Amino acid sequence: MTKNELIQKFEAVFGEGGEIVTVFSPGRVNMIGEHTDYNGGHVFPCALTIGTYFAARKREDTKVRFFSGNFEKAGVVERDITAMEFDREKGFSNYLMGMVWTYAQKGMVVDAGMDIYLWGNIPNASGLSSSASIEVGMGKVINVLFGFDVCNKDIALLGQYSENNYNGVNCGIMDQFAIAMGKKDNAIFLDTATLEYEYAPIVLDGMKIVIICTNKKRGLADSKYNERRTECETALAELQKVLDIKALGELTEAEFEANVDAIKCPVRQKRARHAVYENQRTVKAVDMLKSGDVEGFGKLMNASHVSLRDDYEVTGIELDTIAEEAWKIEGCVGARMTGAGFGGCAVAIVKDEAVDAFIKNVGENYVKKIGYAADFYVVEIGDGTGILE
């Protein structure tokens, strides 16, 4: 959506006049490094060219009015900066009000209301982080309208704080960080424990990133996520009886295999093996991409999915079907599930000449096996949240 189109949509709802600020905040996809963040490991996300568009204008009273182009039937949702409590019935607006509340918590008081139009082209419930996109984008809007000097890295931290403490979701920092700090044609090699990061180029000459949304509701993800965390924490405690480590991510594959018998349960051994090997795959991925070895990176993506399927057991028939059908396509460099698992999305790197066949064949075989369709999105790696030019 262009800046002019966005302003026109804003004015159709809220009327003309005044200074209108426009912001784009991307979605994100994690290319490799899954379920490593809470195991002291690295992640490797990138910002996308799909995301959330904002148009906003300051008001002279205390009302905050939101309108989503994705939920037009909901009409204008009205809140007030004098009553910022979480309100479940107000739906998506809680991600926006949460940022107003967070800025106030950090000593940056929003002293006037706003009119805000937003529209996003991130698929719902896809695992591409629409909530974090909204939070970081709203942070940028507040920054510009009220003259706060908060850098994008700190906006990411405010977004995480808002989601943890206002919306009550115990998320890590990866989503907000990738969205705020994204860089065109680069992924971010991020140590989630220290926030140390570096950019690594993903130069896809003659290739595209294809995201495949399973359209499966992710009912199991939360309960299994907590279960996996507990299994890894127990495995770590067992390893700590024989090793001086603080996290599974500190181990090489060889160090893990030399001490695996300290973990007394075969299931916990598998969970810890994934955490260790996945972190090492992520480290290797950066070196491969720096040397331009996209094919080698694709093999690591495939291995990541196998590990998530067999050792971590968080894929499910939908994601496995997509990956297995993707691997059959000549011209598919690599494919894996991305996100928490049990639904959501897979990500693939596909050569340009194979994209149409990839979408057709994987799509048809998915419907045959699963009974309903997947959605396909050909995306590019873009910059982080910023003013829409």
Phi and psi of 66, rounded to 5°? -115, 140
Question: How does strand 63-68 pair with strand 114-120?
Answer: parallel
DSSP category for residue 386: E
Phi and psi of 198, rounded to 5°? -145, 155
Residue carrying the six token digits 């949304």: 213
Q: Are 36 and 249 in contact, with CB atoms under 8 Å apart?
A: yes
Phi and psi of 194, rounded to 5°? -110, -15
Please give the full DSSP string across 291-336, using - where no structure is assigned: TT-HHHHHHHHHHHHHHHHHTS----HHHHHHHHHHHHSTTEEEEE
Amino acid identity of 49? Answer: T
Give the orientation angle of helix 93-105 with respect to helix 130-146, to 10 degrees: 50
For the chain, how big is the Rg over CA atoms in Å?
21
Phi and psi of 169, rounded to 5°? -110, 120
> Does the CA dihedral 247-248-251-252 come out positive or negative?
negative
DSSP-based three-state secondary structure for 176: helix
**Token reading at 375:** 């959605």
**Token reading at 110:** 């929003």
How far apart CA 199 and CA 184 sit, in angstroms, is: 10
175 is catalytic: yes
DSSP-based three-state secondary structure for 208: strand
Q: Are 208 and 350 in contact, with CB atoms under 8 Å apart?
A: yes
Catalytic residue among 37, 115, 154, 175: 175
- Residue 94 pairs in a beta bridge with none
Three-class HEC string of 224-256: HHHHHHHHHHHHHHHHCCCCCCCCHHHCCHHHH
Q: Which residues, 6+ apart, have CB-to-CB distance to 352 below 8 Å?
A: 206, 207, 208
Angle at 111 between CA 110 and CA 113, to 5 degrees: 85
* Catalytic machinery residues: 175
